[in-house]
A and B are shown apart, each in its own frame.
Chain A
Amino acid sequence: MSSLIGKSLARIGSVDKAMGLSKFTTDIVLPGMLYAKSLRSPHAHARILNIDTSKAERIPGVKAVVTGIKDTPRGGVFGIIPHTRDHVLLPFDKARYIGEEVAAVAAIDEDIAEEAIEAIKVDYEPLPFVLTWQDAMKEGAPLVHENRVGNRAAHYLVNEGNIEEAFANSDLVWEKTFTCEVASHALPEPFTALCSFEPSGKYNFWMQTQCPFQVRQGLHNTLKVPLSDIRLHTVEMGGAHGGRSDTPPGAFIAALLSRKAGKPVQLKLSREEVEDCMRDKAAKVWTIKIGFKKDGTITGREINMVLECGAYASSAIVELWVPLLIDEVLWRAPSYRYDAKLIYTNKTISSMMRTRAHVGPMSMDVAFDEVAEKLGLDPIKIRLKNAILPNEVVPSKATVTSTGLSESIVMAAEKSGYKKKLGKMGPKRGIGIGSGNMQSMFYMGFRSGSTAFIKFNDDGSCTVFTGNCDLGQGNRTMHTQITSEVTGIPMSMIKVCYGDTELCYQDPGDYSMSATVVSANAVKRAAEDARLRILEIAGDLLDVAWDEVELRDDGKYYVKLRIGKGKGVSLGEICRTAFKRGKPIYGFGDYRARIDYSDFSVDVKEPYNEKTYGMKVTAYSFGTTAVQVEVDTDTGVVKVTDIWAVNDCGTVLNPMLVIGNMHGQLNFMLGQGLYEANVWDMKTGRKLTSDFRTYKVPTANETPRIETYFLNIPDPQGPYGAKEGSLGFGCGLHGAISNAIYDAVGVRAYDVPFKPETILKLLKEKEAKGAKKKK
């Protein structure tokens, strides 16, 4: 039987999607369904004094009205990490950003719901607000959360080795500050929460989410009912990319309304509402200081980062330590200091985003190029000197189980013709390279694992139950492919039931790319478990030991060595026999992420310091991109014309799907590197880039020519050696673009996005300097 591993197969579910027949959350209509709308704060920061809903309640067709003051159970709060839990989903005390929900209505149609919202009267006491981290950290600044001194949600400090000594012993110390602006996910499907409350006390939800079990937990905390009374159903989802990684207030509000009205309630957000009131990616300031020996070896790295998380810590807290997790294993650093602060501001809440770790890698790639130039070193050689190696243990005792970083640098340089082109492409064109990485799974306590279950029907077809979601990347297909590979059952006879919190076991969710290494491993183990049971009965029926049985191409199980000669036994027969014996075939598999902390302590008080020794992540993916740019020196516009992307993602389970995911990552990186930025009205706190006209994501016409390559270096832990493949390789793109701009026109850009006006200014400054020199 030919292996399915490495085969490019179409995504399961594609045909329905191509025909427009897939039902997404926004398409579901339940009988008697009501339509909800939220009333949102017009102030960036205000106390909620009183809400008068009497007029709204009297409007015919309005079936329920809820307010934070009246209906939010006290004491329930949501947050991914216990010590930054700060989100009361429908607040009763203050509104902390423009667009935060304070009340909501459910009505028989949307027109009435919109009318009812306008009829609710809220008395606010506007408060002073902060919109930048600088203002938020000032002495005496207004506090977004009263119990958070200095508007600090969290402070992460890691100190390995001796950084002062390292700098003292360096031949060159290089320091620079890099920034990135707030980016949006711009998700195609507007957020929708559909809740149907059953009189017995159970809440049924349909909503888009990457992490149904996290959401269930958050709703359990805030609705105060047992986990079994909250069910998130499987949904087809219109993109996530990190922006659906926490418990959204809309789900909580839909639940309250559904319970009050006794009918299913759909809360659908408008595009502007999504952009103002859902999630963004935090703005970052990253100051890095690196010590180099004159041969290019890094002696130590010191990083100071400030992350603006908006009004609540949400899942941005994860973004505080992801840069550490991946930076410390990308390039070697015997001494290492990482000081990162998460700062509250009165803005849209930040959360995870697939391009999360781009400023860090960028700073390293710019450093390598600048230092190589200063020290007269080869830019590729200096990188190879510091690149992490397989099985290397870093100062915090994390181990890199597999890496092809060095190979990816060499291959990207080779495929792009880097050496030939560097410095020689003409007055406006340039080439640059940048490397990146990403973790597969990080520590989430007992939720760091996945459990899969496979149920068999009497004809041999089966259903795989996994808590892991399919956001569209192809997880469903991956699980089916793996199950088929292990058991030999044709893919057409395998169904995947995913992400249903009632039917499936807990899974970390599509968090930090855990699907491949954690969820798929659980599915693989469940399939292997099922296979053993199948073989046992097959052996019985064929009167041989179970290990003398194998599956052949015609779907039957035969005794080895007697293929075609002896009678085979079909899987259906095996399943029916199993039923008759009272031992139905099933498969059960669990995978706990290989994470251990040999010395792990958490101080839950502020400031929070964590000693993180040991394996914090299961596996890391790596990769390098080489980029060619063209700069219009009259306008400062930078255009990326070509990208060569080399991906170290272990074994490639399904190349066509992974390549598509890679293109998506490059698109996100490209957009945030050149076109996308959110802008706020600093006087009012209102976001000004809340639709697809003002927030400029790339279209097909911004897409460069892209070549993708795989290294195919198996990871010891991944299923068939696979690890995450659609994020890490691309995180170096901004560094590559910055370096390519320098190669093209001799100016250095440290702030993302690389705006035309900034580049033009730099070009003019360079010209002025040059003119001065001539004189």
Chain B
Amino acid sequence: MKQEMTFNVNGEQHTVKVDIRRTLLEVLRETLGLTGTKEMCNKGDCGGCTVIMDGRPILSCLTLAVEAQNKEIVTIEGVADGYTLHPVQQAFVEKGAIQCGYCTPGFIMSAKALLDRNPNPTEDEIKEGIANNICRCTGYVQIIEAIQAAAKAGRR
């Protein structure tokens, strides 16, 4: 069963015909070719598929594509300004918070969503903001440091 849908991704309007079985994650990756958002557990238990929809961080693997109709989506590819990194991305690079990098897009989206709603978070608030995101390589410490640095950079 296919349905036409329109949504805005990273500032661009898209109209695509999707099978209603498809999740938002699948449409972003397979139909739009935006492979930055990752399939990690595919069931909402790892945060790797996090994108921002209408300002909220959501799990795109648990969202039907058709339920993103008329919504504004921001994926990892929409965070930088051309080749100029967003403060969160810059901080992740500089603080060693990226090892294998597979969980990175999910963390950056969660961090961005956090800082957009709370530009000055405490360490505890940061930990709560990234509660859904699993990382196996970094042990989280440098990720938390990166988000703290990004918050500081944002305040200057």
Contact = CB atoms under 8 A, between A and B. Distances in A.
Q: Do A's and B's CB atoms come within 8 Å in the complex?
A: yes
A700 B41 contact: no
Given A11-B96, A656-B96, A693-B43, A185 B136 contact: yes
Contact of B93 (A14, A23, A703): A14
Interface stretch (B1-9, B64-72, B75-83): B75-83
B42 A270 contact: yes
Contacts of A473: 99, 137
A692 B134 contact: yes
Interface in B90-145: 90, 92-105, 108, 126-128, 130-144
A661 interface: yes
Interface string A727-744: 000000000000000000
A238 B100 contact: yes
Contacts of B108: 18
Given A659-B96, A701-B128, A667 B136 contact: yes
B41 A20 contact: no
A239 B100 contact: yes
Contacts of A186: 134, 136
Contact of A663 (B34, B43, B132, B138): B138
B54 interface: no
B115 to A, nearest CB: 15
A529 interface: no
A656 B138 CA distance: 11
A20 B99 contact: no
A474 interface: yes
A82 to B, nearest CB: 32
Question: Residue among A13, A20, A23, A189 with the most chain B CB within 10 A?
Answer: A20
A473 B138 CA distance: 9
Contacts of B43: 271, 691-693
A471 B142 contact: no
Given A21-B77, A691-B45, A697-B134, A666 B139 contact: yes
A14 B45 contact: no
A241 B95 CA distance: 21
Given A13-B101, A20-B105, A238-B100, A271 B41 contact: yes
Nearest to B80: A19
Contacts of B23: none
B62 to A, nearest CB: 12
Contacts of A692: 41, 43, 45-46, 134
Contact of B136 (A15, A241, A691): A241
B128 A19 contact: no
A190 interface: yes
Contacts of A8: 96
B98 A17 contact: yes
A707 to B, nearest CB: 10
Question: Residue among B42, B75, B93 with the most chain A CB within 10 A?
Answer: B93
A473 B39 CA distance: 21
B100 A237 contact: yes
B80 to A, nearest CB: 5
Interface string A1-16: 0000000101101111
A758 interface: no
Nearest to A671: B136
Contacts of A11: 96, 98-99
Given A473-B137, A660-B96, A700 B101 contact: no
A271 B44 CA distance: 11
B96 A190 contact: no
A697 B93 contact: no
A199 interface: no
A280 to B, nearest CB: 15
Question: Residue among B46, B79, B80, B128 with the most chain A CB within 10 A?
Answer: B46
B40 interface: yes
A239 B77 contact: no
Contacts of A657: 96
A701 B134 contact: no
Interface string A181-223: 0000111111000000000000000000000000000000000
Given A18-B108, A188-B40, A691-B41, A699 B93 contact: no
B50 to A, nearest CB: 12
B60 interface: no
Interface in A628-675: 656-657, 659-668
Question: Residue among A19, A238, A668 with the most chain B CB within 10 A?
Answer: A19
A22 B43 CA distance: 23
Contact of A188 (B37, B38, B89): B38
B57 interface: no
A190 B41 CA distance: 8
B35 interface: yes
Question: Residue among B89, B98, B128, B143 with the most chain A CB within 10 A?
Answer: B98
A239 B102 contact: yes
Contacts of B16: none
Contacts of B99: 11, 239, 472-474, 660-661, 664
Interface of A: 8, 10-11, 13-24, 26-27, 111, 185-190, 236-241, 270-271, 471-474, 656-657, 659-668, 691-693, 697, 699-701, 703, 706
Given A188-B46, A239-B102, 7 more contacts: A188-B134, A189-B100, A660-B137, A692-B41, A700-B140, A703-B127, A706-B141
Interface of B: 19, 21, 29, 34-43, 45-46, 48, 75-77, 79-80, 85, 89-90, 92-105, 108, 126-128, 130-144
14 contacts: A18-B89, A21-B36, A111-B19, A188-B103, A188-B134, A190-B42, A271-B40, A472-B99, A473-B99, A661-B99, A663-B142, A668-B136, A692-B134, A700-B133
The 6 closest A-B CB pairs, nearest first, are A20-B36, A472-B100, A663-B139, A17-B101, A238-B102, A20-B76
